[in-house]
């Protein structure tokens, strides 16, 4: 389980460079287009999660719906984002072939970012992010998702910057990484409010109000 200090550490990782990844294959990206929220997105996630469970069994430590399609009422790109936690992402023999057999495309490795492995599914269009149990990323993603579910003011702020960033990226012929970069400052501002609310400030205290950090991690499969 990551520590509070690891969870609250937000890096400027969106300043992405090609050297950060080890490319395995490529896929056709979706247009950078924000659509209105679809109430079917949670059910779509469940279908994909079932496919992962059937493929991996106990190797899938946890499967979590993250990203904007996991937040009811939030406009989003029509992409199901999933954080999959496995015992050891570097042990690719334990899960890569099984995911590929289930229809997932292995796109790249990112060793410097918590040993992330990244897969895609064409239909429904899915981003599958694979991490290990010690990675703070799934915890942060769950915190951000749950905060937006219960804080409509930040949900609206995020919706506005998503639309503006997508429009700017399309107008400049930009990439998904440039779209993410345009959202970065707002995302960090929202995270600052989340960390303050849970006592994850510079003191490194465990979250207050009786809420444990572990309760914000991925739910069990």
Return the minimum-mean-pLDDT range out of 127-131, 173-177, 215-219. Answer: 215-219
Segment 30-42 shows an average pLDDT of: 95
Segment 60-81 shows an average pLDDT of: 97
What CATH number does domain 4-216 carry, 3.20.20.70, 3.30.460.10, 3.30.70.930, 3.10.620.30?
A: 3.30.460.10
The strand pair at 126-131 and 80-85 is best described as: parallel
Across the chain, what does the average pLDDT equal?
Answer: 87
pLDDT tens per residue, range 162-180? 999 999 988 766 667 778 8
Could you give the percent of the chain with pLDDT greater than 90? 70
Residue 105 host element (H or E) = strand 105-110
- Where do the structural domains in the chain lie, given as residue ranges? 4-216
**CA 64 – CA 21 distance, rounded (Å):** 23
Three-state DSSP state, 121: strand
Question: What is the strand order of the sheet 22-23 is part of?
Answer: 22-23, 105-110, 116-121, 126-131, 80-85, 62-66
């Amino acid at each position: 389980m990551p520590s509070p200090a690891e969870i609250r550490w937000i890096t400027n990782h969106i300043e992405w460079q090609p050297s950060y990844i080890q490319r395995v294959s490529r896929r056709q990206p979706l247009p950078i287009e924000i659509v209105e929220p679809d109430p079917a997105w949670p059910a779509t996630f469940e279908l994909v999660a079932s496919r992962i469970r059937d493929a991996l069994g106990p190797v899938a430590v946890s499967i979590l719906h993250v990203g904007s399609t996991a937040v009811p009422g939030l406009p989003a790109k029509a992409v199901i984002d999933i954080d999959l936690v496995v015992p050891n992402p570097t042990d690719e023999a334990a899960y890569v072939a099984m995911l590929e057999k289930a229809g997932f495309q292995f796109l790249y490795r990112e060793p410097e970012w918590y040993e992330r492995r990244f897969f895609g599914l064409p239909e429904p269009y899915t981003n599958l992010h694979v991490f290990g149990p010690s990675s703070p990323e799934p915890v942060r993603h769950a915190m951000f998702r749950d905060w937006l579910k219960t804080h409509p003011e930040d949900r609206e702020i995020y919706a506005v910057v998503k639309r503006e960033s997508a429009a700017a990226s399309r107008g400049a012929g930009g990439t998904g990484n440039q779209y993410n970069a345009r959202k970065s400052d707002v995302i960090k501002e929202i995270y600052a409010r989340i960390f303050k609310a849970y006592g994850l400030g510079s003191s490194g205290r465990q979250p207050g109000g009786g809420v444990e950090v572990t309760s914000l991690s991925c739910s069990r499969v």
